[in-house]
Structure 1
């Protein structure tokens, strides 16, 4: 289907082409100096000690769990209102996800419900900063400290986010990021994790590449030296080519955030009075919303009607997300059923994500809003 209003368009251009061309002319294509430059640049942006570039946010969460010693027999508190990878990363580590319902005004995990879900097997909390709005990390850190729990942030939507001066990795053991095709910075596929724990970082470095004590780039640049396998690791390292695509985008992060904020403000202005449409809570004071997605909530059973009608008019929209616990695999494997997490289910049945990206023309926002108003009016 051809859409006259796209859901997302990347803004990659000549800078990225030149950066990739330079990377291809370098003798080392795998993890090397370009990856290290990107890691340092992202760490500077986040204000944290270490960033490790990997192949996906899923891989970043998996590695974080492994590095923190979380595995079979352990439980990890998380949210059902997210992409499935948040939960499958926990399963990949051998642990069990335990869901907690959401705040209806933000869609984020409800910190006030965490303690009721704890058991002697609980080892960590894995919150999701949904759509780009950070969870209450102050309250979550307090819960974690009271019960000796680790925190691993799924910040796939939230590179730019802040809450009362706290950025991703500022109140957790690690924060995990996605550079998937539609993310705020992208290399098609890719991810990273950030941490302020230097000892944990050294372990993560080994886990990222088979548990090997020397990388391929090190063996090439410095000449062959014997290496060892220090522990059981995985194959999650990013290549110089992907890092080359990401580096120029780091210089546009704040400018692109400002543009998405302008588009979001216009959406809110145009849609706030449309009958049958509810918006999530506006950005709170002392917070920075990353504005990765712009969701609306469509009352009653109108969401799927609106989804199909907009698409038939050439406007691309998405659903982010249907609750994880009601997907076939999770329902069958863990005996989940409707009604167990009612607020997440309500959002999953009503949420619709509208087109949003930095190069989106102002008139496209007007087109989307006008069509929604007309369709909801009858």
Structure 2
């Protein structure tokens, strides 16, 4: 017998793509190039301007961007990269794909972000880089991490998948690092379904990553298309990480809506927080002074109730919710093949057992916020 389908009352996420994006795609279809071309270059220019950075490369994913950055910095077999277990698995798998070893350290108990003090203690003679993750949209303490990196001669690579709009202490992503990597996955603040980007102020690094993005080939299709000289050469090892004009077309109109959408998410976040502060057993991750939170996710930590039971009961009521994240080191692969075990990073594990992301997107009606909090409050009372 097939499982019954529960009608969705409040979806976890709903994109706001529409006629502008359809028109932009149609323009690409009328042109000669569907793969990486002028539309990608326009997006890269607009995104670099938005971030205040010199260079942007549009890619197929944040994972690919992280991998490219590691390779371009010469990080590989025998090297260690310090990162957080409180992230999506892609952060660590990109390190492994480059041939290096991820070294996890624990996180701040009030934000879930990488703990700078734990980073300092984890540096060894094999450490080559630090890879912070700006969890939920709150930037890590980049000033502290930059000091640690400088004192040990390490590279900084930011996983900014949650943090297009973020700022802390006046610092934007890629300002204090060699590169910052972004995701345009289906639920991200800026989305094309699947996609990513990499931003840097380092021109030499940018040129190396540009080669890595497309098989190590020295000339793009666009440059060959626009020139009587159609030849090319493979001058280094590379991968297939280039974004197409179709994804770039979907992204371009959204840049003009980013500020308004952030304002709306801030309003919804404040409403959620006001209501959730009165619900016993719910803890809200902290922000930081002098920060602009990107508000990618609206996440709560359940102090006493069984998180998986709460999640199941919310879904049974038609309310979408997900887990961001179960700690990477406790996934089957990392336990079985890399020898990680429970108890190694207790703060990340505490959060991983309790974290729950609630419905949250710019077009969400405020009455749905109230509906979600009411349902959560009732379920927690049932389980108490």
**TM value normalised by structure 1:** 0.99
Q: What is the rounded CA distance, in whole Å, between the counterparts of 1:223 and 1:362 in structure 2?
A: 57
Match of 2:312 in 1: 308
Match of 2:119 in 1: 114
Match of 1:369 in 2: 373
Task: Describe the SS at the equivalent of 1:311.
Answer: helix
Q: Which of 325, 329, 333 is matched with 1:329 structurally? A: 333
Shift of 1:309: 0.9
Q: After the TM superposition, which parts of structure 1 deviate over 3 Å for at least 4 consecutive aligned residues?
A: none
Shift of 1:213: 0.8
Task: Describe the SS at the equivalent of 2:67.
Answer: helix
Match of 1:16 in 2: 21
Task: Describe the SS at the equivalent of 1:114.
Answer: helix
Q: Deviations over 1:40-98 (max 9, x none)?
A: 00000000100000000000000000000000000000000000000000000000000
Shift of 1:301: 4.2
> Is 1:229 the equivalent of 2:247?
no
Q: Deviations over 1:295-338 (max 9, x none)?
A: 10111242112111111111010000000000000011111110
Task: Describe the SS at the equivalent of 1:112.
Answer: helix
Q: Deviations over 1:320-364 (max 9, x none)?
A: 000000000001111111000000000000000000000001110
Match of 1:346 in 2: 350
> Is 1:285 the equivalent of 2:289?
yes
Q: What is the rounded CA distance, in whole Å, between the counterparts of 1:174 and 1:79 in structure 2?
A: 17
> Map of 1:251-290 to 2, 5 A cutoff?
251-281=256-286, 283-290=287-294
Q: What is the rounded CA distance, in whole Å, between the counterparts of 1:104 and 1:297 in structure 2?
A: 11
Task: Describe the SS at the equivalent of 1:76.
Answer: strand
> Is 1:66 the equivalent of 2:71?
yes
Task: Describe the SS at the equivalent of 2:102.
Answer: strand
Match of 1:47 in 2: 52
Q: What is the rounded CA distance, in whole Å, between the counterparts of 2:9 and 2:74 in structure 1?
A: 49
Q: Contact (CA 8 Å) 2:305, 2:380: kept in 1 or not?
A: no
Task: Describe the SS at the equivalent of 2:361.
Answer: coil
Match of 1:359 in 2: 363
Q: What is the rounded CA distance, in whole Å, between the counterparts of 1:193 and 1:292 in structure 2?
A: 18
Q: What is the rounded CA distance, in whole Å, between the counterparts of 2:166 and 2:185 in structure 1?
A: 18
Shift of 1:225: 3.2
Q: Contact (CA 8 Å) 2:36, 2:243: kept in 1 or not?
A: yes
Shift of 1:223: 2.8
Q: Contact (CA 8 Å) 2:281, 2:305: kept in 1 or not?
A: no
Q: What is the rounded CA distance, in whole Å, between the counterparts of 1:276 and 1:285 in structure 2?
A: 25
Shift of 1:224: 3.5
Match of 1:144 in 2: 149
Q: Which moved more, 1:296-305 or 1:156-165?
A: 296-305
Match of 1:37 in 2: 42
Match of 2:136 in 1: 131
Q: Which moved more, 1:1-10 or 1:122-131?
A: 1-10
Q: Which of 160, 163, 178 is matched with 1:155 structurally? A: 160
Shift of 1:244: 0.3
Task: Kindly tell me the number of residue pairs found equivalent between the two proteins.
Answer: 377
